[in-house]
Amino acid sequence: MTTPDRAVILSGSGRPAATRRRPWRTEWLVLPVVVFFALFVLLPIAMLVAISLSQSMTVHALTLAHFVRFFSDGLSLPVLGRTLQLGCETSLLTLLLSYPIALVFNAASPRWQRVLIFLIVLPLLTSAVVRTFAWVVILGREGLANLALNHLGLADAPMRLLYTEPALVVALAQIELPLMTLPIIASLSTIDPRLREASLALGGGHWGTLMRITLPLSLPGVIAGVLLVFASACSAIITHSIVGGGRLLFMPLYIYQQGLQAQAWPFAAAISLCLLVAILSLVVLVNTLGRYLTRYAYA
Question: Can you give the binding site for other proteins, defined by CB under 8 A?
Answer: 41, 44-45, 47-48, 51, 57, 75, 128-129, 136, 140-143, 160, 162-163, 175, 179, 231-232, 234-239, 241-242, 245-249, 251-257, 259-265, 268-269, 272, 275-276, 279
CA 185 to chain centre: 16
Rounded to the nearest 10 degrees, the angle between the axes of helix 144-151 and helix 128-139 is 30
Nearer to other proteins, 120 or 188 (CB): 120
Q: Name which of 180 and 231 has its Cβ closer to other proteins.
A: 231
Q: How far is CA 14 from CA 18, 26, 142, in A?
A: 9, 18, 67
219/273 with CB nearer other proteins: 273
Nearer to other proteins, 113 or 257 (CB): 257
DSSP states of 142-183 as a string?
A: TSHHHHHHHHTTS-SSPP--TTSHHHHHHHHHHHHHHHHHHH
Residue by residue, DSSP assigns 10-70 as HHT-S-HHHHHH-THHHHHTTHHHHHHHIIIIIHHHHHHHHHHTBSSSS---B--HHHHHH
Look at residues 288, 284, 293 and name the one whose alpha carbon lies nearest to residue 219. 293
CB nearer to other proteins: pick between 286 and 297: 286
Rank residues 142 and 192 by Cβ distance to other proteins and give the closer one. 142
Cβ proximity to other proteins: between 67 and 254 the closer is 254
Burial of 239 (0-12, 13-18, 19+ CB in 10 A): buried
Q: Which residue type does 64 have?
A: L
Angle of the 265-298 helix axis to the 65-72 helix axis, nearest 10: 70
Enumerate residues 6+ apart whose C-beta is below 8 A from 175: 123, 128, 131, 132, 236, 239
From the list 227, 137, 43, 164, the residue with the least C-alpha distance to 147 is 137
